[in-house]
Amino acid sequence: MSSADLRAISQLDEASRKDIAQWVENEMAQAKLRSTIHNFTEICFRKCVTSIGTQTLAKTEELCLQNCLNRFLDTNSAIVKLIQEQNK
Amino acid sequence: MAFFGKDSEASSTQTQDVKQRVMQEAAQELAVADVTELINNMTKVCYDLCFPNPGPILTSADSKCTEQCSKKFMAAWNIISQTYASRLRQ
């Protein structure tokens, strides 16, 4: 955002500034979600797609991608739990 | 934040204009960042898959591999996104 925009925003009434702040918060949350999905896709594509030769995913590759993400998320929650227990 | 500076009020049409312009610009920036991340990731992954031993020229097989890889990558993106969404709903 340019400094001219920031100046323009600072001159808006409070309700409008709140609207924009709310909107920005929303958009940032969505952007973060999409970025997380990009990251997961890279991790699981590397694991599950080891050769190219068709432009569609094989059924086994699709299944692998689903399992890859689910086990990755399980790993994440297991680690969070372990760290929390250590800190008790 | 600079957002919450002074409070001199603008007219309501001006206000709508400013709001709309700011949101449009911000949405545009976020969309560019999003597609850049997709392109960068896809390039890294497909380069690694299609060019284990990069040769002196780009062959038609290389181009075909890159094209197929990018299509598979998009399909994988959709599956990961659906799987993640259903996981978040649990």
Contact A13 B80 (CB under 8 A): no
The confidence band for B2, taking pLDDT boundaries of 50, 70 and 90, is low
Question: pLDDT tens across B22-31, in order?
Answer: 889 889 999 9
Question: pLDDT tens across B55-66, in order?
Answer: 999 999 999 999
pLDDT at B86 over 90: yes
Domains of chain A, each with CATH number or no CATH: 3-86 (1.10.287.810)
**DSSP assigned state of A11:** T
Contact A70 B72 (CB under 8 A): no
Interface ipTM: 0.85
Contact A45 B44 (CB under 8 A): no
Domains of chain B, each with CATH number or no CATH: 11-89 (1.10.287.810)
d(CA A86, CA B79): 35
Position with higher pLDDT, B74 vs A4? B74
Position with higher pLDDT, B20 vs A37? A37
Q: Share the mean pLDDT of chain B.
A: 88
Candidates B4, B8, B21, B22: best to mutate against A (most CBs of A within 10 A) is B22
Q: What is the pLDDT of residue B17?
A: 82
Question: pLDDT tens across A37-57, in order?
Answer: 999 999 999 999 999 989 999
d(CA B63, CA B53): 15
pLDDT at B81 over 60: yes
Q: What is the pLDDT of residue A62?
A: 97
- Quickly count: other Cβ atoms within 10 Å of residue A73's Cβ: 15
Residue A70, min C-alpha distance to chain B (Å) = 8
d(CA A81, CA B77): 28
